[in-house]
Amino acid sequence: MRWMLLLLSLMLPLTLTLPVAAQVTLISVDAMDTRFGRVAVVGPIGANRLTLDGVPIEGVENWGLRILGSFALADEPFDYLLVSDHGGGNACDPPIRLLRITQSGPIVGPLVGGCVYPMALDVRLFPGRIEIDTPHRDLGIAREVFSWDGTALQSREVAEAAATVAPGDPRQWVGQHPYAALDDAAERVRFGQIMREWQIEELATRIGPANSVIERDGWVLGAGCMAHNCNTRRGVWGIRIADGVPAAATMDVGLSARSYGTAANDPVFRAWIEENMP
């Protein structure tokens, strides 16, 4: 699911003893208040810096910075700050920079995530630490969990649950955005018959701007292009209705298409590739 970006700031009562969990949707702002001062992004795009009450925070400067939210337990002497830390370019979504803001100044933490969307799935606060869940580029891994205590960063991977249902009638995708099929656990099992997980992920990154899925000559067909790179990078997929066999291809301008599955040689799918070449 693609998440809209909303600001979330948690200030929790002293009596709360359980960890705080929220399925987080973040916004991107250039300034906000914490309990220990105002943080702001200053400078032009290409040379952004983060400041606390007007004083630059050393070690937090990049092509583009955006403040994603502030999180705190009311009885702890610091606020957590999440900042997207963008180095430029549009091949990947940026990682998240973790910080603690205290009365004595900021503590600059590590970067987490990067090249995944959305940037964060979940944020949980525990006494003395913050946990952030991010998607993982391997579609067989449900999420990666990062835990930071202000000093050390730890991470662990949570495996994706195995699909409990077989892929259904591919015509269910007709009229939908073609990314929807690649975001479906059962369909990932289908495409996993012809592609490795990282190849499915690569195809998914190329199904951004797109027309709806169509049915044509016994096939269900989807196509799209990479956001901001529609003229150079595209992807297509198809499922033959008669036997449910999948096919896929990724295409780059000036290069031959990379196709997956023996059904990619079917004349209908070959024509679909040619129709969508950059």
170-275 is a CATH 3.20.130.10 domain: no
Q: What is the pTM of this model?
A: 0.59
Length of the chain: 278
Separation CA 84–CA 64 (nearest Å): 8
For the chain, 278 residues long, give each residue's pLDDT as a single digit of tens: 222 223 333 333 222 223 444 445 678 899 999 999 999 999 999 999 999 999 999 999 999 999 999 999 989 999 999 999 998 876 677 899 999 999 999 999 999 998 876 788 889 999 999 999 998 877 678 789 999 999 999 999 988 665 555 678 999 999 999 999 998 888 988 998 899 888 898 899 899 889 999 999 999 999 999 988 899 999 999 999 999 999 999 999 999 999 999 999 999 999 999 999 99
* Residue 89 token pair: 């370019």
* Cβ-contact 142, 136 below 8 angstroms: yes
Torsion of CA 128, 9, 44, 94, to 10 degrees: 70
Distances 125 to 13, 17, 142 between C-alpha atoms, Å: 13, 10, 20
- Cα(258)–Cα(250) distance, integer angstroms: 5
The whole-angstrom separation of Cα 223 and Cα 178 is: 6
For the chain, the domains span: 10-159, 170-275
Strand order of the β-sheet with 55-62 is: 31-34, 37-42, 48-52, 55-62
Q: What's the CA gap between 176 and 170, in Å, rounded?
A: 11
Give me the pLDDT at residue 4, please. Answer: 26
> 54-60: which pairs have CB atoms within 8 A and are 24 or more residues apart?
57/99, 57/106, 57/108, 58/108, 59/108, 60/85, 60/97, 60/99, 60/108
